[in-house]
A and B are shown apart, each in its own frame.
Chain A
Amino acid sequence: MSTTCGKAEALRDYAFDELPAIDRPEMERHIGACPECAAELDQLRLTTAALRILPDREIPQRIAFVSDKVFEPSPIARFLHSAWAGLASAGLMAAALIFTVLHQPAPQVRTIIQSASGTDVTQQVTKQIDEAVSRAVQQAHAQDAELTKASLAEAETRHQREHRVLMVEMEQSLEYIQKRLGTMTSLTSSMEAPQNRGGQ
């Protein structure tokens, strides 16, 4: 924060209401005449407003210093940070690496890749993927076929059962109608018989 007119300090005091009341009219006139100070005043007011938005927080009760004993390194840490420890750990890691390399069996895939050319590897991988996909598709198809077969069998059984029931009921209906017709015929003929006899 600096102005070329040399009134930066007075402007800050004015912005934070710390300028004496006697000097305030003169400062206000200057701000009206100096665009640099007017812009600076705006910036200061903006910053003030932003600071007022922030919530008030309490200062932490305990302030620790680097010189406190808490931050003092332990003997183990001191050892680990020492150069000797660095050397020892490097040696240990080197030994572990050598042991692993010597005793690890070579992976099969690596053998294939090493023994085959680039095109063969791609073909083999593609072939294996195709086979796996084909197997999965066949399994899915087989499961679908079984499900469909079972559903069809169930539907067929249900249909046959319903058909049988319907046929039996229709048969009974026919029997009923035949009986009704037979009775009506019988009753009509028995009513006509006496009349005929009477007529003769």
Chain B
Amino acid sequence: MKSILLIGLATLCFAGSEPIVSLNSLRTVEASINDKLQSNINDPYELLGSARGTYLENYGAVFTFEVNLVVTSPLAISPFSQGVTEKEVAALHDRKIKKTEVLRDSMRGMMLNASKSLPGLPANERIVMEAFFFNWRWENTRGLSHRLVLTAEKQKLMDSANRHLSEKEMAALFTQEEL
């Protein structure tokens, strides 16, 4: 009886508090991230985990996704294939290094756009975007990141959203963490 009363009280408490960042705004940003990642026709990313957004109270909105920077078929390691040559491994490594930089720039752009799509997010809170990178076990992962995390304050992003920023200004706007 006592536990039922406690559950009821808790339900009433949570029902009374509306989330300040709406689910719809988070879904909008998720969709724009997915679209952006799949829009590069010439050299596409392989989206292995679509964007997921969540709001952490008093911290900010966090978006995560997983990509393979270069599209590689899983058949490359099947018993029917002839295996991957060292030359191909080296070429793939180089491409991934270059595309990490390209993705970082894209993520910055997406975060600038996200600042305009999250009206409920307090200006002093953050927008965080985290990319997880998929690498095959046979790949040379030396120098490659497994995760790239960009963090920026919403207010700063909004201030810069409509301005053309130099590379230096853009870099100063974000906190970057590579793991």
Contact = CB atoms under 8 A, between A and B. Distances in A.
Same complex origin of A and B: yes
A179 B137 CA distance: 16
A146 interface: no
Contacts of A183: 47-50
B165 interface: no
A173 interface: yes
Nearest to B35: A187
A144 to B, nearest CB: 34
A190 B48 contact: no
B77 interface: yes
Interface string B37-50: 00000000011111
B99 interface: no
Contacts of A177: 74
Interface string B124-138: 000000000010111
A186 B47 CA distance: 11
A187 to B, nearest CB: 6
Given A187-B34, A190-B27, A190-B31, A169 B77 contact: yes
Interface hub of B46, B48, B138 (most chain A Cβ within 10 A): B48
A171 B103 CA distance: 27
B66 interface: yes
A79 interface: no
Interface string B48-90: 1110000000000000001010000010011100000000000
A127 interface: no
Nearest to B78: A173
Contacts of B77: 169-170, 173
Interface residues of B, number: 19
A172 interface: yes
Interface in A124-144: none
A172 B137 contact: yes
B136 A172 contact: yes
A177 B46 CA distance: 11
A180 interface: yes
A16 interface: no
14 contacts: A168-B137, A169-B77, A169-B137, A170-B77, A173-B74, A176-B48, A179-B49, A179-B66, A179-B134, A180-B46, A183-B47, A183-B49, A190-B27, A190-B34
Interface of B: 27, 30-31, 34, 46-50, 66, 68, 74, 77-79, 134, 136-138
Interface of A: 166, 168-170, 172-173, 176-177, 179-180, 182-183, 186-187, 190
